[in-house]
Structure 1
Amino acid sequence: MKKLLIILSMIIGLGAMESRINAALAAPGAAGFPQVIEGDKLRFGNLVVELFGIRAPKPGMICRAGAVEFQCGAAASQALGRIIDNYAIKCQQVSDVQLFPMLTECTIGRNDLNRLILRAGWAMVDMVTCDSHPSCATYLRDQEFAKENRKGIWMGTPPSELVALAAKPTAEDIQSSNNKAKRKATGDAPRHLFGSPFTVDLAGDMKRANAPDKTLLSFLENTF
């Protein structure tokens, strides 16, 4: 009887383990105490994840608050570090379109990490990816809260590059992209030698290399 109970418990245990493995495979992601890479990117060991639905300032982007300019990419990274400090983060993949870095939704306990960042004012809603997502309306309200209270990048003027990245493509942008794709597919795109954007002009290069140095000639003329 005891042997039967042991066998049954082992079967049940294996079944539970298999269900957990299947669940993990069905929803890839990561969990733990990540390192902040940028204001919307985290690293879990060798895995880099990007937060889906928002855009934080990139390194080198400049924000303006009155007459003061500051590196808001670095400020956004520091702000994210303070938000997640000493908290375990859980992230789940939300899109198969982009895998490197993996697009994920992340939470701190029951709190949506995107909402915390948006309400602190250190990111914008990414209308390119978020437009049809169920959370988009909530994210926009969080963004409006930060704007009204002049938090983060909304203390002054956000970087124009960030605004462009987060904006929904216009009909003109989509048409231009489609036209470029068609030209490339039909072979009408500009052709370059060996696929390089640079042309090779050996004769012209040799002529320029052997041409007299006008600066040196003028110096010699003025000397003698």
Structure 2
Amino acid sequence: MGVLLASGASAQTLSGSPTITDGDTLKVAGKTVRLHGIDAPEGNQQCVRADGEYLCGRSSTEALMRLVGKSEVSCEQRDVDRYRRIVGVCWVGKTNLNSEMVRLGWARAYTQYSRDYVGQESEARAAKRGIWQGPHTAPWDWRKERRK
């Protein structure tokens, strides 16, 4: 028997070869999985680093693609979001993809929903990795600005 989620659905574990949608979303076993506790820049979001503006959303997606490579992933469901996507923690072997994306600086800890990756974000910021190479707008603020 699976774990009952707040939404009333049963938790599940999905595994298989994923398709990477963006820096915090993938499709596995025919289901869309939003990575729990993190938020990555949107596809056309720009950030700034020493050599100028760049598409940090695209860089984030590419970082997740590199982490996964040709490996299969295993995702443990934590919840279902308002868009009916599975929210989960995904792994390639012993590598927690959610944690690694934040540690590498290609996603932010999404503290509105979880404090699981705050330490990894502090590490990335201090090391100026990924989006922390220069000024950027938090993905949740960037989306809010676009909705206006």
Question: TM-score, normalised to structure 2's length?
Answer: 0.82
User: 1:50–1:101: 8 Å Cα contact kept in structure 2?
Assistant: yes
The alignment-based identity, stated in percent, is 25
Larger RCO: Structure 1 or Structure 2 (Cα < 8 Å, ≥ 6 residues apart)? 2
Query: 1 or 2, which has the higher helix percentage?
Result: 1
1:163, distance to aligned residue in structure 2 (A): 5.7
Structure 2 unaligned residues grouped into runs of 5+ = 4-8, 144-148
Q: 2:114 is matched with which residue?
A: 130
User: 1:55–1:165: 8 Å Cα contact kept in structure 2?
Assistant: no
Q: 1:69 aligns with which of 53, 68, 83?
A: 53
CA–CA separation in structure 2 for the residues paired with 1:165 and 1:93: 27
Q: 1:56 is matched with which residue?
A: 40
RMSD (Å), alpha carbons: 2.3
What is the DSSP-based 3-state SS (H/G/I as helix, E as strand, rest coil) of the residue aligned with 1:118? helix
Q: 1:186 is matched with which residue?
A: none
User: 1:126–1:165: 8 Å Cα contact kept in structure 2?
Assistant: no
Computing the radius of gyration from Cα coordinates, the structure with the larger value is 1
- Does 2:132 correspond to 1:148? no
CA–CA separation in structure 2 for the residues paired with 1:26 and 1:102: 11
- Please list the CA deviations of residues 119-157 of structure 1 after superposition, one character each: whole Å capped at 9, or x if unmatched: 1110000011114xxxx2xx1111111111111101111
Superposed structure 1 runs of 4+ greater than 3 Å apart = 22-26, 96-99
- Does 2:139 correspond to 1:162? yes
- Please list the CA deviations of residues 164-199 of structure 1 after superposition, one character each: whole Å capped at 9, or x if unmatched: 379xxxxxxxxxxxxxxxxxxxxxxxxxxxxxxxxx
Query: 1 or 2, which has the higher strand percentage?
Result: 2
Structure 1 unaligned residues grouped into runs of 5+ = 1-21, 167-224
Question: TM-score, normalised to structure 1's length?
Answer: 0.56
